[in-house]
Homo-oligomer: A and B are copies of this chain.
Amino acid sequence: MNVPPELLERFKKGELIPAIAQEQTTGEVLMLAWMNQEALEQTLQTRQVTYWSRSRESLWVKGETSGNTQELVSLSYDCDADSLLLQVHQQGVACHTGKKSCFHREVLE
């Protein structure tokens, strides 16, 4: 599975692209993380979602240690080719706090 040229252009400039993970079965938005070219290629090859960790500056196979992996169902990108949307099947929970989604802090309800 090849990375589209519009995305490759961004990666070649050294940009990281924000990637939204959405649980395919429920529509719940689970988290936002970042991908470089290697992370995206590995994700497409393995179907196990892999991000680029900005803090550790390394590839990050989601759930590799916790078991809370994300199996890729489908992947799309937006009209400007500067963000990604991943439909996933989340094993367990997405958030390190133990909540299903990382978006659990309300500003406005």
Cβ distance A55 to chain B, nearest Cβ, rounded Å = 9
Q: How far is the CA of A26 from the CA of B4 in the complex (A)?
A: 28
A106 touches B20 (CB 8 A): no
Which residues of chain B come closer than 8 Å to A107, judged between CB atoms?
1, 3-4, 44, 75-77
A83 to B95, CA, bound (A): 14
By a CB distance below 8 angstroms, the chain B residues around A74 are: 106, 108-109
Q: How far does the Cβ of A20 sit from chain B's closest Cβ, in whole Å?
A: 6
Please give the number of chain A residues whose Cβ is less than 8 angstroms from any Cβ of chain B in the complex: 36
A65 within 8 A of B: no
Select which of B3, B79, B104 is within 8 A of A76 by beta carbon: B104
Contacts of A59 in B (CB 8 A): none
* Cβ-based interface call for A27 (8 A): yes
Q: Are A102 and B75 in contact (CB under 8 A)?
A: no
Contact B105 A79 (CB under 8 A): yes
Mark contacts of A49-87 with chain B using CB atoms, 8 A cut-off: 1 yes-contact digit, 0 otherwise.
Answer: 000000000000000000000001011111111010100
Which residue of B22, B29, B108 contacts A44 across the interface (Cβ within 8 Å)?
A: B108
